[in-house]
Structures are given as structure tokens and as C-alpha cells.
Amino acid sequence: MIFNNKFRLIKSENLSAKANTCLDSALFKTFNKDSLPVLRIYSWQTSVTFGLSQNPSDYVTLIEDYKNNFAKRITGGGVLFHGHDISYSLIIPSSYIENKSVKETYELICSFILNFYSHLGLKANFAKDTEGIVLSKDAFCQVGFEAYDIIINGEKIGGNAQKRAKNVIFQHGSIPLTTIRKDEKYGSSLEDFSIKLSFDEAANILQTAFEKTFNAQFIESQLDENEQNIYYELYEGK
């Protein structure tokens, strides 16, 4: 296995879009060559996030519908709805995945997501490996099909995105737990496949899938002082 064993595990529940995106950014910005890798598992208030290249001012009505609980993610992609999902963020040194392309990195990291679904008795595949799926982009995350989106029974249930710097790879993704609207913009959820999980249940299965996939050992953690300082600076817009 190319990963080292020890990971910090940070769990948080029901945060605003701004809090979650600032936490991701703080962990990414403060990561250095001596940092332990981090797996963060978390949930959201009812909110909406936008990809890095999107302009939220193009979606004024949507933002009003979500009572201004919105933020831009540090990765690309399209509009993504939250409040019914569980998310993960993984921050690792780039040295963990030497001599692998971006595509190979996605395939490796996302293997624990496939194992999560397998634990639930669901056969999940990447979009690139699913017959009948045409890869495409869309302003809404759940409408387009990227190569490493997760497909179950021909339906998209989740996606993943990456951001890289010289010494660090950041990847995050979301798993919809419940159905909030029968609309392709919102995508499918585990509930659509007759699986009902609480945040705690889903978090435990996600953690176990990661442990088994990468032979990981977790150290339960919170933000350290430096991470907190950067987080507050970002949150206050300084």
C-alpha cells in the first residue's frame, strides 16, 4: 500500500456551507511535508455550494431559496446541494501517490467509496466504466458525468473533486443519504435504493471502508491552533 497508516480523523456535523468550505481551505493551506494526513467526515446545514470557477451572482434566486447559506468550494465543478448528504475530505502528501496520473489518483482514492457502497450491498461503478453513460459537464454537479463519478444501476449518486499544490493533494466528495427532491439537479440518494442511514451510521461505515481499503489507523482529532487561526481568518474574510 502506498499510503502510510496513520491518519487524523476529524468529524463535524451540521455546519454551514461557509464553515465547511473554510475548514477545507484551512486544512489544505496549512498542510506541510511533516503533517499527518487527514480524513474529515462531516455533514451540512441545508445549503448550496458552487465550484471554484462559478459565479454565485449568476444564481441569485437559488441562493435566496437557500436563505443565503452558500459558499464556493476550493475545487471545481458545478452547483451542489447539501443538507441531505454526508461528505468526506482527504488531505494527503503528494508523496503518497508518486508516479501516478491524476486519473490514477482518483481511481485509487475513490476505491474506498466503492467499498462503502459494497458494504451496503450496492454495486457501484465509476461513470467511465458504466455502459450507456456519456461523459459530459453541466452547471449542476449531479447532472453531468465526470469519469470518476459514482454510478449505481445507471444512476449518478455522487461525485468527487481534487485540488493540488506542490506537496499536497486534497480530495472531497459527498454521498446523498436522503431524497430531498425528485429532480435530476439533486441526483439520486441511498434512500432511492431503499437504504436509510443516519449521519453516525454512515460515518462509521465510511470510516470502516477507509480503514479496510488503506489499512489505516485513525487518531481522532480537531483543528490545531494554526489551522484554527487560518480558519477564522478565512471565515471572517481577512
- pLDDT for the residue 1: 47
Sign of CA dihedral 227, 75, 199, 8: negative
Examine residue 121 and state whether it is found in any structural domain, yes or no.
no
Examine residue 122 and state whether it is found in any structural domain, yes or no.
no
- pLDDT for the residue 166: 87
Examine residue 123 and state whether it is found in any structural domain, yes or no.
no
Q: How many domains does the chain have?
A: 1
- pLDDT for the residue 158: 86
Domain that residue 193 falls in: 6-94+161-235
What are the b/e assignments for 106-130, b being 16+ CB within 10 Å? bbbbbebbbbbbeeeebebbbbbeb
List the chain residues with pLDDT less than 70: 1-4, 238
Beta strands in 141-223 (DSSP E): 150-152, 155-158, 160-164, 168-176, 217-220
List Cβ neighbours of 167 (8 Å cut-off, separation of 6 or more): 31, 32, 33, 93, 94, 95
Examine residue 107 and state whether it is found in any structural domain, yes or no.
no
Report which of 9, 32, 3, 20 is spatially closest to residue 109, judged by C-alpha positions: 3
Examine residue 149 and state whether it is found in any structural domain, yes or no.
no
Examine residue 62 and state whether it is found in any structural domain, yes or no.
yes
Examine residue 128 and state whether it is found in any structural domain, yes or no.
no
Report which of 67, 60, 78, 54 is spatially closest to residue 17, judged by C-alpha positions: 67
- pLDDT for the residue 26: 98
List Cβ neighbours of 144 (8 Å cut-off, separation of 6 or more): 78, 136, 137, 138
- pLDDT for the residue 32: 92
Q: What is the pTM of this model?
A: 0.95
Examine residue 137 and state whether it is found in any structural domain, yes or no.
no
Looking up residue 68, the CATH number of its domain turns out to be 3.30.930.10
pLDDT, one tens digit per residue, over 192-217 is 999 999 999 999 999 999 999 999 99
